[in-house]
Amino acid sequence: MALQNREIGAAEVEVVDLSGALGRSEWDLATPRSRRFAHGFLLTGGRGEVHLEDGYSRVEAPCVLWLPNGLSARIQLDAGIRGSMMTVSDTALGRVIPASSIAAPLREAIDRPLLGVPLDLAAARTILGDIDAIRHEAADDLPGRREAVLSRLCLVLIAFWRIGGTSTAKPQSSPRVLVQNFLQLVELNARQQWRIDDYARAMGISTDRLTSAIRRATGLTPLELVHRRLLEDAEALLERSVLQVREIADALGFRDAGYFNRFFSRRMGMSPGRYRQQLLNRRPGDNSYAAWP
């Protein structure tokens, strides 16, 4: 099904209702024009992907996506998505930041991306109400329209700031937020073969604190979660692609096919080639994967 390409508007603040899309929708935020805007997505239903220069992240509603201006990205949302997309100029962002004690941390927060941060459906609908109010205000030529739009935008940005875990009174993120941030980074960087101290450094915490928070929340170590992510990707590629095992190893960031074979075999009890052959044997009469090793 053809993608529905959406153009970025020139208004300071623009809201698009995403609900009811019959096909897959895509936004290219890598163009010089689109990179002059920040983009926020509040999704109450459906799934999609965020593609950045160094990887991609799967997203599932209810969640928030926030892409600061200047960030190159491609957003792909599946058919049937529900929610709204908001395009905000840097000028509007500058005007909407309140002259108060939260000005600096709020500005810092909106300069960082949120890549599908989950939230409960009730909170998502509350924020969506403010975003929809922006859309209605922009459509109506009423007195004080601009001020009303900027006031609603301020509420939305504060909500995004809170979702991202930023706080003036508590500079260190909560364990729940640490786990969310770590899992987002894993989605983006597992195939880059990041070490655990790379993740800790990117999050601004120690490796010990990261390990402790992840173990308390999941019962697993950070490395086990990274390996689980890589194993899921490996299984999907073996099942759904025609890539050779050595090509899959390269796609997942392994230094050679032998190392990938050992990694996969230790966790699955069989080699990648045998795993794929078993899948093939379950498809009687299907010869479309005859080139598999």
Three-state SS letters, the chain: CCCEECCCCCCCEEEEECCCCCCCEEEECCCCCHHHEEEEEEEEECEEEEEECCEEEEEECCEEEEECCCCCCEEEECCCCEEEEEEEEHHHHHHHCCCCCCHHHHHHHHCCCEEEEECCHHHHHHHHHHHHHHHHHHHCCCCCHHHHHHHHHHHHHHHHHHHCCCCCCCCCCCHHHHHHHHHHHHHHHHHHCCCHHHHHHHHCCCHHHHHHHHHHHHCCCHHHHHHHHHHHHHHHHHHHCCCCHHHHHHHCCCCCHHHHHHHHHHHHCCCHHHHHHHHHHCCCCCCCCCCCC
Calculate the average pLDDT of the chain: 83
pLDDT for 149-194, tens place per residue? 888 999 999 999 888 864 333 334 556 677 878 888 888 888 889 9
% of the chain surpassing 70 pLDDT: 87
Q: Answer yes or no: is pLDDT of 1 > 50.
A: no
For the chain, list the domains and their CATH numbers: 4-163 (2.60.120.10), 178-293 (1.10.10.60)
pTM: 0.53
Q: Answer yes or no: is pLDDT of 283 > 70.
A: no
